[in-house]
Amino acid sequence: MSRLAFLILALLLAACGPAVVPPDVTPTAPAPAAEPETAGAEEAQPTPRPEETSAAGEPRYAGAAPTPVSLGESVAASLGDPEAPVTIVEFTDYECPFCARYSRETFPQIREQLVESGLVYYQLKDLPLDMHPSAGIAAEAARCAGDQEAYWGMHDALFAEQEAWAQADDVEAALNELAGGLGLDASTFTDCLESGRYADAVAGNLSEAAALGVNGAPSFYINGFPVRGAQPFALFEYAVGLAQEGTLADAYRQPLPEVDDGAFATGDPNAPVVLVEFTDYQCPFCARHATETLPLILENYVETGRVYYVFKDFPLQQIHPNALLAAQAARCAGDQDAYLEMHDLLFERQNEWGSEADAAAAFASLAGELELDTDAFSACLESGDYEDEVLANFSEGAGIGVNGTPAFFVGAEFVDGAQPYEVFVQALESQLEAAE
């Protein structure tokens, strides 16, 4: 199996969590894993625009490689040598059956062959999903057991007895029983669990996962690169080997998005670097990027002629019911040369229109604030003229590896999530240097 095909398997969910594909968009099935890498890459590669080629006429970008994400220091537990060359971070949910399968079938091999050998430093973070009502307190229970040097014993017990405690009439009593089975001091454990001592820490991990676009468990990062789902040990062993070689990023290279497809863009089309953003107007992390990071990118890179910024839509309709119409509202405002103004106002007022039953009226009100021709704006919105284009953006993004928002293609680098401005500076400067 090719390097690319094998790593692609790591992004096909065998995990607990909500789907991100709207019900009216059919995702393209992945190519068979046995297909040659070169053929698959050539078929997926977009035709380079003139300004995407070097002076020699060769494609400037062979595909987008992701920028490894920066993860917070707060963890539930860790194993191994912090100075190991490879770090694996797992986000888990103690009530998730896929997490239990991974814990039984894959984790023991990772621990024995990769952690104990000094090759991998393993960190665990909590991701209690809303669909699992007892996952949060189970995560706290594991941390309370950790106070008595028994975190991993409780971790194993929670997954081994998942069905029993998760379906118990009194979950806390069931968790106390597990603690007793591990020989823990009962009163100390109970006091910790009842105090909610670790509730904020668990919530912090959950917030971090959301910021990264992680909405299913188990999810992993290997030296900052994502692996999704309860994958077999062979995949982790292979990916760790690539990380050792320094070639893991190459395995994640993705086809680049189209640029000249009618999506709004700002800056010089012949700028040396093209930055394409996939966004969802109802996504709070997209709002954070739009208000905190985008203005700095526009000021320091777009307005100076070094970056061409393209805005594409990726409305997650299952969780953001007004996002599709909001994307159309921005495009309708664009008909009156006010795309960016509406873009900014939609994110600024996100909390106001996000739960509106009559979103169209809310958007018309925003158009009025921008002093647009509201009749023309409403007619555009009611016509649905831009719906197909918005959904085409979504399908394109899903087809090249986007599975959450915001997501960015910075030249030949893929940046996932609402990363701080400094991450974009690093990616942009790297791409500008490569374009020289």
Whether the CB-CB separation of 78 and 122 falls below 8 Å is answered with yes
Which residue did the predictor score with more confidence, 74 or 27? Answer: 74
DSSP per residue, 72-139: -S--SEEES-TT-SEEEEEEE-TT-HHHHHHHHHTHHHIIIIIITTTSEEEEEEE---TT-TTHHHHH
CATH 3.40.30.10 is right for the domain spanning 265-435: yes
Q: Decide: helix, strand or coil at residue 422.
A: helix
pLDDT at 408 over 70: yes
Range 162-168 contact pairs with CB under 8 angstroms and sequence separation of 24 or more: 162/94, 162/95, 162/97, 162/100, 165/134, 165/138, 166/95, 166/132, 166/134, 166/138
Distance (Å, whole) CA 77 – CA 274:
40
- The pLDDT of 390-418, averaged and rounded, is 92
Distance (Å, whole) CA 123 – CA 112:
15
* Whole-number Cα distances in Å, 168 to 13, 195, 303, 334: 28, 21, 60, 55
Task: Give the pLDDT score at 252.
Answer: 79
* Whole-number Cα distances in Å, 421 to 2, 65, 172, 426: 35, 19, 43, 9
Query: Percent of the chain beyond pLDDT 90?
Result: 75
pLDDT tens-digit readout, 179-235: 999 999 999 999 999 999 999 999 999 999 998 888 899 999 999 999 999 999 999
H/E element holding 228? strand 225-228
Distance (Å, whole) CA 105 – CA 111:
11
DSSP 322: T
Q: Decide: helix, strand or coil at residue 372.
A: coil
pLDDT at 328 over 50: yes
DSSP 287: H
Q: Where are the domains of the chain?
A: 77-245, 265-435
- The pLDDT of 262-278, averaged and rounded, is 96
- The pLDDT of 331-339, averaged and rounded, is 98
Task: Give the pLDDT score at 263.
Answer: 93
What is the pairing mode between strands 265-266 and 273-279? unpaired
Confidence category of residue 12, pLDDT binned at 50, 70, 90: very low
- The pLDDT of 92-117, averaged and rounded, is 97
Task: Give the pLDDT score at 165.
Answer: 97
Cβ neighbors of 320 (< 8 A, separation 6 or more) are 280, 281, 282, 283, 354
- The pLDDT of 81-102, averaged and rounded, is 97
* Whole-number Cα distances in Å, 274 to 21, 182, 254, 408: 26, 56, 15, 10
Which residue did the predictor score with more confidence, 344 or 254? Answer: 344
Confidence category of residue 32, pLDDT binned at 50, 70, 90: very low
Task: Give the pLDDT score at 66.
Answer: 67
Q: Which CATH superfamily is domain 77-245 in?
A: Glutaredoxin (3.40.30.10)
Query: What global pTM score does this model have?
Result: 0.58
Question: Which tokens sit at 401?
Answer: 């590896």
Task: Give the pLDDT score at 72.
Answer: 92
pLDDT at 64 over 70: no
Task: Give the pLDDT score at 14.
Answer: 61
Whether the CB-CB separation of 277 and 312 falls below 8 Å is answered with yes
Confidence category of residue 97, pLDDT binned at 50, 70, 90: very high
Task: Give the pLDDT score at 253.
Answer: 75
Task: Give the pLDDT score at 48.
Answer: 27
Q: Tell me the H-state helices in 106-231.
A: 107-109, 135-146, 151-160, 162-166, 171-181, 186-195, 199-211
pLDDT at 4 over 60: no
Which residue did the predictor score with more confidence, 54 or 338? Answer: 338
Task: Give the pLDDT score at 8.
Answer: 45
Whether the CB-CB separation of 218 and 15 falls below 8 Å is answered with yes
Task: Give the pLDDT score at 65.
Answer: 65
pLDDT at 293 over 50: yes
